[in-house]
Structure 1
């Protein structure tokens, strides 16, 4: 029995302990210089399209209990896509040995990382507060800020979709320019 209790405690505490490490690593990886490869962009676009579909379906179902969930998610997805395209223009681009490289803007990546941290902290506080006050007209799920959490996630998904779509466009444009020179 003590082994089971210990495993449950580790399973609950370990993610909290590793969260700061995860946030720092996400920022470091998000600001690292990398090659612009078409297959990587295509893979990321596909993954973000699947994630966008999942978040829209989830917000549609959540809208049964939280009326603003679908509109907040859709707006955040669109805003994120526009932010991703802006992120491409703020990125540093360079060519080395015939290969195109990019470095995402540190301020934008930092702001998005802080959005995740702030939303996690705010969501945890709202969830705890709503659980303690359970009752009233709206349920605790609506009170916990589910639409805001979905919108924050949709903003990040939209950013990734917009950014990698713009990277793919930039790669194709560069390829076309190289073919015109031949």
Structure 2
């Protein structure tokens, strides 16, 4: 009998912690997302390859999901292409501060805020959809940005953005290091 009370209590504690920590983590994402940081080549390369691995895993998941969710491939491809464009825009909006031995960069706080806002809107919409589906028996939309394929499009947009931004940042850091080495050898 005590085990029956432990499960709902554990679930309530989990929900309470999530509801408290999620807004804090989103605020930290916005606050730190536009902070000035040092471009460490190993970290940027690791980020690039990690994003590439995540993209491959996402493609596999989308291939499987495509059997059940209509237009999953089309939405994911469109989201990824838009994400690539947003990555280029994010790179163009980044402020670079080259030093003698190191490169600093500051991503666009406005773009970080917009991407975080997109995540929040989709999260809230998903919670409302889940509530309506479980309580009122309302079916999930089969198309549009509120559908499962729409969720894939948003995930693909974030992956495309992260991949393109990491690629362009990696190129910039490599160019900076190559230029600095060449500059030292000339002196």
TM range (shorter): 0.7 to 0.9
Q: Give distance in 2, aligned partners of 1:28 and 1:9.
A: 29
The alignment's TM-score, normalised by the length of structure 1, stands at 0.88
Q: Give distance in 2, aligned partners of 1:70 and 1:90.
A: 30
RMSD: 2.0
Query: 2:52 aligns to what?
Result: 49
CA offsets, 1:122-158, max 9 Å, x none?
12222333443356xxxx4847611111111111111
1:126–1:145 contact (8 Å) kept in structure 2: no
Cα offset for 1:180? 3.9
Cα offset for 1:40? 0.8
Cα offset for 1:32? 1.3
1:67/1:4 CA distance change after superposition, 3 Å: closer
Query: 1:107 aligns to what?
Result: 110
Map residues 28-107 of structure 1 onto 2, 5 A cutoff. Answer: 28-107=31-110
2:62–2:72 contact (8 Å) kept in structure 1: yes
Q: Give distance in 1, aligned partners of 2:176 and 2:88.
A: 17
Kindly report structure 1 stretches of 4+ aligned residues shifted beyond 6 Å.
none
Q: Give distance in 1, aligned partners of 2:175 and 2:81.
A: 24
Number of residues of Structure 1 aligned to a counterpart in Structure 2: 178
1:25 paired with 2:64, answer no
2:101–2:180 contact (8 Å) kept in structure 1: no
Unaligned runs of 5+ in 1: none
Report the 3-state secondary structure (helix = DSSP H, G, I; strand = E; otherwise coil) of the residue aligned with 1:93: strand
Unaligned runs of 5+ in 2: none
Q: Which stretch shows the higher mean deviation, 172-181 or 49-58?
A: 172-181
Q: Give distance in 2, aligned partners of 1:96 and 1:4.
A: 55
Map residues 135-146 of structure 1 onto 2, 5 A cutoff. Answer: 140=140, 142=142, 145-146=147-148
